[in-house]
Amino acid sequence: MERKKDINAVSIDMLLIVHSEKRRAAQGTHSDQQADPSALLQRRGGFQGVGNGVRRWQKLEGNDLHENLVEKQHPQQPQVITSYDSQGTQLTVEVHPQNAMPQLLKKFSLAKRLQADKNGNTRPRQPGGKDAHAYPWDRSSLKSMSLDLQQFEKLDIYASQVTAKSGLDELVSDLLQEAHTDLERVRAIWIWICHHIEYDIVAAQEKDRQAFKPTDILRTQKTNCDGYAGLFERMCRIAGVQCMTVPGYSKGFGYRTGQSFSGEFDHAWNAVYLEGRWHLVDSTWGSGLVDTTTSKFTFLYNEFYFLTHPALFIEDHFPDNKNWQLLKPPQSLRQFENNMYHKSEFYNKGMLSAHPETPMIRTVNGKATVTIESCAPTLFMFMLNGKQEHGLLSLRKNGMKLEVYPPTMGTHKLQIFAKGNSDIYSSVLEYTLKCNYVDMGVRLPTELHQPVGPSWFSEQMGIMKPSHPDPIIHTSDGRCSISFSVEEGISVLASLHGDDGPITEETQRRYIFQLHREKRTELKVQLPQAGKFALKIFVKKRQEPGNYIFVFNYLLCCANTKVNWPMFPESFGNWGQDSELLEPLSGVLPANRHIPFKLKLHGIAKVLVKGQDTWPLTLNHEGYWEGSCSTAGCQEVYVMVLENANHSFYSYILKYKVNAQ
């Protein structure tokens, strides 16, 4: 090319390769990961736990992700010029030496070429009606296409163990050794990125830093969300699979329930073309966790963000172009802002729906109720303003019910956690609670732990057929009797807790007396005063070492201010599982009285009651030991047993106090 009239004109021999693609994403810095109740680990939108380190997408001029991801594999790097038209279409021109083979052509020689349309164009088609999924979610699948994850096991192991190479071509070539379909190629790339690329928190905090180049990413094995998305797209294109980077907003770290989104996009993810339709992936959120307190990244794979169903993906990803929602009908930004946000662990742990369906709840007469439906029995817990207080959470076979009573008027933060097969609770839902009235008659005991009431979990732990299936028990005289069947080999322990009154750590089991009749265990409870109390139930396998495990509790309520029951007698280790006490049940005996005794004991040779003197009990024809004892001149009374008639050593099994004269 010559320009003779221009003294600055030059003559250039060159080969032009022109790319026409939709403008791609900006880098982002939010994260999604659900926290356990201690709220240490976070993952979402770039990643939670870091500031907004997003490249300023709207202000980009002359550079884009594709340019920045051009790989330097030759000493003579081609010059790249990129520009955009008013519709956001990208035009990239590469200038190569006359005899050089363009890297782009070499790249496609690795596997297969990108699918071309009838005109021979390789530009990915824009999403249309055939790509759209119905909204809201139909509960059919967490994925946008039918998958059997077990079929990926061998491929996943292989891809996760492939080592990083100096160049993308070589890396993708290795990954594709075990991948034979487009789906398997995408899966191998996804697995490798999620298991090898670490989220770069420092880079994410530098808001205007340019996107990472593949050579930098492979060398450091670190990047931010823009780098994740760009690397995923580049590797898919090398593998011959159509892929796009999608910029948009995300509900990640720093997200506040009901907040508005405007200005720069804060995240980037990918759309990949498989089996004639577009599908969504987010390798940033699939890779791991950022600890917001230490700013350290931990790899923790999250399957949820691979080919996520669009009706679920829209809960925390809002693309710049509504077509990339892949939904029918598409959601508006206002709907995205106001819709309930179910975190990925909500669906990973088998939950289906929650009510209310809005993120903001207003109390009614001082109470708010939340229910969750799940496809399998699941353990739940909650926190109101960071504490496990002021609520009643009962487990159901397929979900849970939570009633919350905020202690003050105003705005409160309600978090709900769920536990799957692991020992860690994960955050699944978060509500903002508005309370304009406090019911002063509802004050729950501080020691009322979750869950309340028997459930599938208590059955699993060996407690079945409870006499009181409801979690709340009302008593007018301050007494109640609760019974249930207990699995063979299980020991039961119970304790009573209240915020006021005479109950202390030493006496919390003295207001409960445990009886065993046939195959049922009975708990007799006497309240020391009116009020609300937590009756906590624990179990333990007798033959195994270790502590008792908390199973559930009842809420006991008594409004009778005349109630003033004494403690039960203190029992010792030799008080057997099949022992039964009929009288006296009060742990405090009157002075200078003859007190009748009647109890059933098994495998005992002799029974004595010891005050100032010793009083033997006799065994009647019904199997009860009977007799009486005088409380004159003593402060304590003991029941003692002799297990072997050939021995002379007696063991204490019960202890009573005697009222002072």
- Write out the catalytic residue numbers: 225, 267, 282
d(CA 187, CA 181): 10
Question: What letter would DSSP give residue 565?
Answer: -
Cα R_g (the chain), whole angstroms: 35
Angstrom distance (rounded) from CA 437 to CA 367: 9
Please give the angle made by the CA atoms of 271, 274 and 276, to the nearest 5 degrees. 110
Tell me the two tokens of residue 90. Answer: 């990208």
Q: Are 531 and 430 in contact (CB under 8 A)?
A: no
What does the H/E/C string look like for 250-279?
ECCCCCCCCCCCCCCCCEEEEEEEECCEEE
Q: In 10 A of CB 157, how many CB atoms?
A: 11
Element (H, E) at 161: helix 153-161
The dihedral sign for the CA sequence 104, 105, 110, 115: positive
SS3 315: coil
Query: Cis omega before residue 37 (within 30°)?
Result: no
Sorted by sequence, the CB contacts under 8 Å of residue 292 that are 6+ apart come out as 40, 41, 42, 48, 49, 253
Rounded Cα distance, 634 and 614, in Å: 12
Q: How far apart are CA 22 and CA 10, in angstroms?
A: 32
Bridge partners for 525 per DSSP: 480, 512
- What the block records as the tokens of 587 is 């742990």
- Which of 419, 342, 421 lies closest to 380 in space, CA to CA? 419
Rounded Cα distance, 304 and 67, in Å: 30
Q: Categorise residue 46: left if φ over 0, alpha if ψ from -120 to 50, beta otherwise.
A: left
Tell me how far apart the alpha carbons of residues 441 and 566 are, in angstroms, rounded to a whole number.
26
Element (H, E) at 607: strand 606-610
Can you tell me the distance from the alpha carbon of 313 to that of 339, in angstroms, rounded to the nearest whole number? Answer: 12
Angstrom CA distances, 60 to 208, 209, 249, 549, 588, stand at: 10, 12, 17, 59, 83
Q: Which long-range contacts (CB under 8 A, 24 or more apart) does 436-440 make?
A: 436/362, 436/363, 436/409, 437/363, 437/365, 437/366, 437/409, 438/366, 438/405, 438/406, 438/407, 438/408, 438/409, 439/365, 439/366, 439/367, 439/405
